[in-house]
Chains A and B, each alone.
Chain A
Amino acid sequence: MKFVWFNLQPWPHLPDNFREDYRSVWVDIPSRLFDPELAHEVYNTYLDQLEFADQLGYDGIGCNEHHQNGYGLMPSPNLIAAALSRRTSNAAICVIGNSIVGYNPPTRVAEEFAMLDCISGGRLIAGFPVGTPMDTNFCLGQIPALTREKYAESHELIIRAWTEPDPFAFDGRYTQLRHVNIWPRPVQQPRPPVFIPGGGSIETWDFCLDHDYNYSYLSFGGYKAGKSLLDGYWDRRAERGDRDDNPYRASFAQIIAVADTDQEAERLYAEHILYFFNNCLHVFPGFADPPGYRTLKTLKAGKLSQLRKETMELFSRLTWSDLIESGAVIAGSPDTVAEQMEDLARELRVGTVFCLMHTGNMPDWKTRYSTQLFAEKVMPRLQSIWSDHDPSEWWCSPMEERRTNDAASVDAARRPVDPVTVGDGLEGVL
């Protein structure tokens, strides 16, 4: 299995009464809740954690793109990826991904991803989301009913820009370029591996299968809720007569928190994960579904009760046991977590897991504690689950000889790395 350490990079200082006092964490969240000087600390802490995950042996480290969002501070994931490319040397750099509909022209994505692939020595994994309506339509101003058509055209342009050896002209409806000839080119040939973060539409599954891309179901609902989506993907594959059931064709995001015992996990992490569910996940429904964004078929199957006035005025408060029982969160001792992670892998048939190890306003030391326990006591028990399948088509292929500028080697020159110090600070709490 492949493990990607992933963090949405939330703003950890939302007020307790955020849901009652503000209508949305996304799009029109008040700017006065943001403090740039605090953000200096927040960003650098998150970058440190991603580098720490590389040192601990996570297969990948990941970032994604959100705009005007209180729980996702990465409008430009490529900036984060660039910093990580310099300060790490082993982990795949998973940019999941760039909202390609919003880049003008989309060759910008082909160029920046090629730069990242060069700097990182071929460690890039490239994600191409259609993007949420909040980002793509309301923040980036793209027309809902034309979003999918523009996405398809942008995708075609980027792949051609990467793979065609000679300059070409591109006469699209949304982008016209007389001379497409990106410089630099990606290390990984013919192209870096592509992951498609998507929901559960047949169109998305077919798109992934048509191009042999990784289908990445990234949600916060957890593995029990995610099963029907992954089943749908694998069934669709079978329906199409595609016999390749390699689990590395799919990936899944899961909130995970590890401690010595199940009780300790609740004591350490509950308040921070509940901050995420009860404060951060508060999106005004009008931003979630502009007419024309969803296909009609998806809409007909949808649950619309959230659009009612009376429902919107109710603020249900989730509890820790709600999150554990629903599978939204896998938390507990290394045994508990390993057992549920194995269920996740086998039930969903996924080769790659995006491990959301930092959630909500979890402080740095707790994040590192959980991250390290997972790397040392859980990952080794899961790594061989899919050992009879070859991941290489859906994973990066780094250059064998590449420079190491990573934090570990730079730090090693300064002071010895002592993994024991990571747990410091726990004594007073436990």
Chain B
Amino acid sequence: MNGATIATITTRRGIEATVHVRGTAGSPVVWLHGAGGPLPREPLLDALAERHVVYSPEWPGYGVQETETELHDMLDFALHGLDLIDALELGEAPHVIGHSMGGMIASEMLALNPSAGASLTLIGAAGLWIDEHPVPDLFSMVPFELAETLFVDAAAGEKILTAGLDFSDDQALIGFMVGNARRMGTAGKILFPIPNRGLAGRLYRITCPTLLAWGRQDRMFPPVYGERFQQLLSSTEAELVVIDDAGHMLPYERPEAVSAAVTSFIGR
């Protein structure tokens, strides 16, 4: 069950955003979702909410508000992320966790303002490019290829991605494609055609404790990307945890393992 309550916040810039809030006590966690967007079931967030208050805002393009026209480039996304944290009025710096595109934005945010997070967790984060390990072109994939790329178990993955929608039904497929066009169209502003906007040159600015969690079978950003993050985060001792039987969508494939790693890291 989705135990989240829904709140609406407005940033100083005037962008309204929906925030899912889980948990009632403990230090605040801000979860920044990836390009696929929030999914109907968020087992990792439910697990983290046992010890933390978990705030997961929706990026422009992913919610009911059609605010995506406000964001054009990486700096817009990073500043919007910092604005969201400000607008949550938490009274303390939260633990920031970003998955995939969310990890790329989280890194940019903490490079701009290193004191904005008590800690940083990057899960299968985007933002780097290694010539020897080219990232698959997510933007030219047809729907049935997505799950094959993102999950170890493609059949299970497709159910997770589509919330059980039947792609053989035209209306369901059109609905998915329209939502996907908004979500991925927005994501494309920072991920297309190569998901690299120069983050490598800015990672040195991050100083908070950092955890890197990767799926061993991640076919988008294989664990070698986690290693590259670890090298480039030169101002902090980042720990890399590689989780077995997990692909790029490890928060959904192995939520208990990710939760254990994150909880242990934050609790230190």
Contacts and interface: CB of A to CB of B under 8 A. Distances in A.
Interface of A: 27, 137-138, 141, 143-146, 173, 284-287, 290-294, 296, 299-300, 302, 304-305, 307-309, 312
A286 B144 contact: no
Given A143-B192, A173-B72, A294 B181 contact: yes
Contacts of B140: 27, 138, 284, 286-287, 290
Given A138-B193, A285-B142, A312-B142, A145 B186 contact: yes
A135 to B, nearest CB: 13
14 contacts: A27-B140, A143-B192, A146-B72, A286-B145, A291-B187, A292-B186, A294-B181, A296-B178, A299-B181, A300-B178, A304-B170, A304-B173, A309-B142, A309-B144
A296 B185 CA distance: 11
Contacts of A284: 140
Contacts of A291: 139, 180-185, 187-188
A141 B193 contact: yes
Lowest 5 A-B CB distances belong to which pairs? A292-B185, A291-B184, A145-B185, A286-B140, A291-B181
B166 to A, nearest CB: 11
Given A145-B186, A286-B142, A291-B180, 15 more contacts: A138-B193, A141-B193, A143-B188, A146-B189, A285-B142, A286-B140, A286-B141, A290-B140, A290-B188, A291-B182, A291-B185, A302-B174, A304-B177, A307-B143, A312-B142
Contacts of A299: 174, 177-178, 181
Given A138-B193, A290-B192, A304-B177, A144 B185 contact: yes
B167 interface: yes
B264 interface: no
Interface of B: 68, 72, 139-145, 167-168, 170, 173-174, 177-178, 180-189, 192-193
A300 B174 contact: yes
A143 B186 CA distance: 10
A296 B188 contact: no
A307 B173 CA distance: 9
Nearest to A173: B72
B170 A305 contact: yes
A141 B192 CA distance: 8
B174 A304 contact: yes
Nearest to B144: A309
Contact of A292 (B144, B145, B174, B181): B181
A96 B186 CA distance: 30
B181 A296 contact: yes
A173 B185 CA distance: 18
B38 to A, nearest CB: 17
B185 to A, nearest CB: 2
Contacts of B181: 291-292, 294, 296, 299
Nearest to B145: A286
A403 to B, nearest CB: 44
Nearest to A305: B170
A292 B142 contact: no
Contact of B193 (A137, A173, A309): A137
Contacts of A307: 142-144, 173, 177
Contacts of A27: 140
B249 to A, nearest CB: 18
Most chain A CB neighbours (cut-off 10 Å) among B142, B167, B186, B187: B142
A292 B183 CA distance: 8
Contacts of A312: 142
A173 B174 CA distance: 32
B168 to A, nearest CB: 7
Contacts of A302: 174, 177
A286 B141 CA distance: 5
A292 B168 contact: no
Contacts of A292: 181, 184-186, 188
A104 to B, nearest CB: 15
A300 B177 CA distance: 8
B168 A308 contact: yes
A146 B73 CA distance: 10
B244 to A, nearest CB: 29
Nearest to A295: B181
A309 B146 CA distance: 12
B175 to A, nearest CB: 9
A300 B68 CA distance: 19
Contact of A137 (B168, B180, B192): B192
